[in-house]
Structure 1
Amino acid sequence: MMNRREGARTNVLFVCMGNICRSPTAEAVFRHQVIAAGVEEEIYIDSAGTHDYHIGEPPDERAQRAAGRRGYDTKALRARIVDEKDFEFFHYILAMDRANLAVLQRECPAEYSHKLGLLMQYSEKFSEGVQEVPDPYFGGSQGFEHVLNLVEDAGRGLLNRIRNGK
């Protein structure tokens, strides 16, 4: 991952398949964490999908409800697909799982491949064997709560990493 240069804005992109469950949840959670830390002018945050299933749609209603219960606002977010310009613009391009990371690795120009990773690599749970944020789309409400737990933890780790310039 790219080191944050002092005074430069760090750009973070969260990626899942359709950009309606996991990645917009990660975007909203991380934005909340960044604002709470008072560094919103230093970090730009976005999310996208690897597939074009839901372009222009808001996050899944279940994801919105779960996020809303914890104080995260996802209502204004709209699904989009990863664009080739994203690979140059973003410093961190973090997939929710290995399948989407593989798609990113196929599409990413070689000179930007160092920017790719899994969000969970910034989580304390990663060392416990949790390396992916599972897709809650076909499950019940508990899946969306689990996603929130994971992205809250990984978001804290990512924010620490960015703020410490490592």
Structure 2
Amino acid sequence: MKSVLFVCLGNICRSPTADGVFKALVEERGLTDQIAVDSAGTAAYHIGNPPDSRSADAAQKRGYDLSPLRARQVIATDFEQFDYILAMDNENLANLQAMRPNNATAYLGLFLDFATVSEDEVPDPYYGGDQGFEHVLDLVESASVGLLQHIEKEL
């Protein structure tokens, strides 16, 4: 069993989008019994809240259901429980590196390292318009395909 944790700042836009898209891809490939997926935020701003309605609406238009997801904050045991902890941007990555226990063995890196795009960060669409949420979905879909191909080689 492999496990993936997607991380952004508040866990209401980018990481739940990645969670929903990647879970759908895992289900489509029939790998739900081999790959576990979750998401979290580095900050505690929105704990218990559903994804931002703009993220959920944009995802729904592409066939992804984010409604079961609720925001949570990254905790120390996540570094033991997950094989991959993937940050949406460099600030999230730096925050994760600062909280990472010395004995952690999880892969810690940027999610877009697995994408076929020239960008290295998934931009936060929170303060922008609808196009930002569409762009996040484009990036997340690309990285999800690459990540799944990478994990499938390990199964």
Counterpart residue number, 1:157: 146
SS at match of 1:110: coil
Structure 1 counterpart of 2:87, one-letter code:
A
Report the equivalent of 2:14: 22
Kindly indicate whether the alpha-carbon contact (under 8 Å) linking 1:24 and 1:77 is maintained by their aligned counterparts in 2. yes
Query: How far has the Cα of 1:113 moved from its partner?
Result: 5.8
- Runs (4+) of structure 1 exceeding 4 A deviation are none
Q: Percent identity?
A: 55
1:15-164 equivalence runs, <5 A: 15-112=7-104, 115-125=107-117, 128=118, 130-164=119-153
1:19–1:59 CA contact under 8 A, matched in 2: yes
Normalising to structure 2: TM-score of the pair?
A: 0.98
Q: Give the CA RMSD over aligned residues.
A: 1.1
Give the superposition deviation at 1:114.
Answer: 5.3
Distance 1:10 1:34 in 2: 11
| C-alpha separation in 2, matches of 1:68 and 1:140 | 17
Contact 2:84 2:108 survives alignment (8 Å): yes
8 Å Cα contact 2:10/2:41 also seen in 1: yes
Cα displacement (A) at 1:165: 1.6
- For structure 1, the 5+ residue unaligned runs are 1-8
- Note the C-alpha offset of 1:111: 2.5
**Secondary structure, in 3 states, of the residue corresponding to 1:72?**
coil
Q: How high is the TM-score relative to the length of structure 1?
A: 0.91
